[in-house]
Amino acid sequence: MRFRSPATRSPWCAWQAHSVLGYLISALFTGLVVGALGRLVVPGRQPIGCLFTVLIGIVGAVAGTAIAKAAGFDWWFVVLACQVGVAAVGVALAAGTMRGQRRPPEIH
C-alpha cells in the first residue's frame, strides 16, 4: 500500500469528512432545539444539565422522526411535534429519576 500525500487524495475524501462533520453539527443543533422544546413542555424545574438535555433531544429527534415516518406523516410540523413529544417524555423520565438522586443524605 502506497502512501498518498493529502495533495493527491481525491476530493471525495475531503467532501466525506465535511459531510460527516456537517451531520454531527446538525445533530447537535437539532438535539439542542428539540431538547429545549421538550424541557419547555414538561412543567416544573428539571434537575438535568444542558449536555443531558442535548442527548435527550438527539434521541428524541431520531425516535420522533422514526415514529412520524412509520405513521406515514411527512409534514414538518407533525414530525417536529413527534420529536418534541418523545423528548418531553425523555426529559420527564430523566428528571423523575434524577430528582431523588440530587438530595444529599441526612446525617443525624
Q: Which residues contact 55 (CB under 8 A, 6 or more apart)?
A: 31, 35
d(CA 74, CA 80): 10
d(CA 84, CA 60): 7
User: Is residue 107 predicted with pLDDT exceeding 90?
Assistant: no
Is the pLDDT at 2 greater than 90, yes or no?
A: no
**Cell numbers given for 62:** 431520531
pLDDT tens for each residue of 68-103: 989 998 888 998 899 999 999 999 998 888 766 555
Burial of 41 (0-12, 13-18, 19+ CB in 10 A): middle
Q: Is residue 18 pLDDT above 70, yes or no?
A: no
**Per-domain residue ranges for the chain?**
49-99
pTM over 0.85: no
Q: Which of 93, 91, 96, 97 is nearest to 54 (CA)?
A: 91
Question: Once rounded to an integer, what is the mean pLDDT over residues 22-28?
Answer: 80
pLDDT by residue (tens digit) across 33-79? 999 999 999 888 888 888 888 899 999 999 998 899 899 988 889 98
